[in-house]
Structures are given as C-alpha cells and as structure tokens.
Amino acid sequence: MKLAELGLEAGLPENVFQVLTGSGRIVGETIVQDPRVRKIVFTGSTEIGTQIMAKCAPNVKRVTLELGGKSANVIFADSDLEKAAASAPGAVFDNAGQDCCARSRILIEKKAFDKFMPLLEQSVKAFKCADPNLETTEMGPLITSAHRDKVASYVEESLVAFRGTAPTGAGFWFPPTVLHITDRKHKSLSEEIFGPIVSVVTFEDEADAIGLANDSEFGLSGSIWTNNGAKALRVARGIESGNLSVNSHSSVRYWTPFGGFKKSGLGRELGPDALNAFTEEKNVFINTEI
C-alpha cells in the first residue's frame, strides 16, 4: 500500500497504479481468469507460472512470466581466479540465495579447480551472515522455518566442501554452504534450491562448459569468467540464458531487457522491450480511390 502512496507522491495520475491485497488463490486467480484483464505479468515459481499459463489459455490472454533459475557461474582457468572467487559468494548468497538469478552452480575448469577452491573457501568463510539491520551484514536469514528445512534437505555431509557461519537463536538461519559435486545428475545441479547453497562442478573445455551450463530446464541468468574476449563471446552465444555477464555478476539493469529461456519464463521485462508485451500491432488499409 505504501508503494501506491509513493506513486501518487511521484506524480502518477490517480488509479494508474493500483494495489490489491489478498491471497494468490483468491485475488490472483480472479485477476488471471477475468476476461476483462487482457495481460498478466507474473514473477514467481515455475510451478505457479505454468498454472497461470493454463488459466490464461481459455481467454487467449497474454502473459509474461519471470520464473525460476539455476544459473551457472562459468569460470575458466585463464580468468582472474582471485576476483572470480571473491565475487562468487555474493552472486549466490545475496538475499540468502532466495533470488531467481542466483548463480547457484559454479562451473570451474578442471585444471583450475585446485587453485580456485581455497580462494573460494576464504571468501565464503569471510561472508558476513548476521542481523540484516547491521551495515556490515551481507546475508540475513531465510524467510520461514519450513523453507529452511527444505533447503537443509539438499545438504549431504559427504558432499560439503566447506561452509561459512551463521548466527544461532531467533531467526531462520542457514550458513553459506558449498557442495562439491562429481555426479552431474545430482539434484543440487538441476533443482532450484532457493537458499544459500552453491554446487561446484568441474568441466574439461569450452564445449563441455557450454553443455554443462545448458544441462538445465532453466535459463535465466549467469556469468562467464575469462580474459579471452573471443571465448567470452562464443560461450555467451552458446549458453541458453536470457541474461549473462562477463567477468562480473551484474546482468540485470532496469534499462535493458530482462527475462529467461526455457522454464525460466516468457517475454521480457525492463528496458524498451518491456513495452512490446503491452501493445498490439494494427494495420489499417485505406482505399483512396473514391
């Protein structure tokens, strides 16, 4: 409700921006199914997104979906490994991993693995998980106790490479956790955990990196680390993802298109492309031979 108030203060005409409160099962479903509403934009899980698509179908209603992700942080041996390792925790543990763009898979070139992992461990153990009210905090608790239990179910102690620290006591705390995965079919590489867990897996070469990055039903975001510009472009073309960044994790800007491939969604939000989903093209032919 406060957002609507701020909109009026910013100069938006009355009723241009409206806020309705209520549960998704009641308010959300009513809006989705009402034939007077001709466009739906949804951000959330792939499970709910597919249900919304089905409910929009009877009215042939347009829909833009920004859904789940299992983004890959692809790190080549020729990159700045120190910088890649220092930035990796923030790319996945920000917002306690509850972020659809979280780089929850680290793909590291095999010949760089032994050098990279100690650097990553140092960064993870220095990552500050604490009270969100503190200015020094980099990560807070998870949203609910039930979600914490779901996140914890992905942790097999035999796969834990190392962990950071988290407070005890009140709050749904979960420490930043790094898994070393050797089985490429392990669920931690395919399922969206939506928590502070990152899975590390090695790849052999460029082609293997692209194949591994694309071995997912999602395709929302991701990062590529290399000092070879031509390689960066080749890999970026090969990875099936709507938003990629090279030698950084900053792939989302409000002035550029944002959206996913595959089960990460449909359409684009942000940037000039966002308006396309809210417009219809019309052709009018006029016979001037009267």
In Å, how far from its chain's centre is CA 84? Answer: 18
Please tell me which residue in 5, 56, 82, 100 is annotated as part of the active site: 100
Supply φ then ψ for residue 74, to 5 degrees: -90, 120
56: annotated active-site residue:
no
Beta-bridge partner residues of 246: 224
pLDDT tens track for 119-153? 999 999 999 999 999 999 999 999 999 999 999 99
- Whether residue 264 has pLDDT greater than 90: yes
Tokens of 211: 């194949």
pTM for this prediction: 0.91
Q: What is residue 50's three-state secondary structure?
A: helix
Q: What is the pLDDT of residue 20?
A: 87
- Whether residue 23 has pLDDT greater than 90: no
CB 252 within 8 A of CB 101: yes
Tokens of 44: 């959330």
Please tell me which residue in 66, 138, 192, 269 is annotated as part of the active site: 66
Regarding beta strands 222-225 and 72-75, do their DSSP bridges make them parallel or antiparallel, or are they unpaired?
Answer: parallel
**Band (273; pLDDT cuts 50, 70, 90):** confident
- Whether residue 15 has pLDDT greater than 90: no
100: annotated active-site residue:
yes
Supply φ then ψ for residue 233, to 5 degrees: -70, -40
What are the structural domain ranges in the chain? Answer: 2-67+256-278, 72-246
**Band (25; pLDDT cuts 50, 70, 90):** confident
Q: What is the pLDDT of residue 171?
A: 92
- Whether residue 109 has pLDDT greater than 90: yes
* Separation between Cα atoms, residue 107 and residue 203, nearest integer Å: 7
Supply φ then ψ for residue 69, to 5 degrees: -155, 160
Q: What is the pLDDT of residue 151?
A: 97
CB 223 within 8 A of CB 249: yes
Which amino acid is present at 256? Answer: T
Q: What is the pLDDT of residue 134?
A: 94
CATH superfamily of 72-246: Aldehyde Dehydrogenase; Chain A, domain 2 (3.40.309.10)
pLDDT tens track for 60-108? 999 999 999 999 999 999 999 999 999 999 999 999 999 999 999 999 9
* Separation between Cα atoms, residue 278 and residue 11, nearest integer Å: 22
CA dihedral of 79, 80, 83, 86, whole degrees rounded to 10: 70
pLDDT tens track for 166-221? 998 889 999 999 999 999 999 999 999 999 999 999 999 999 999 999 999 999 99
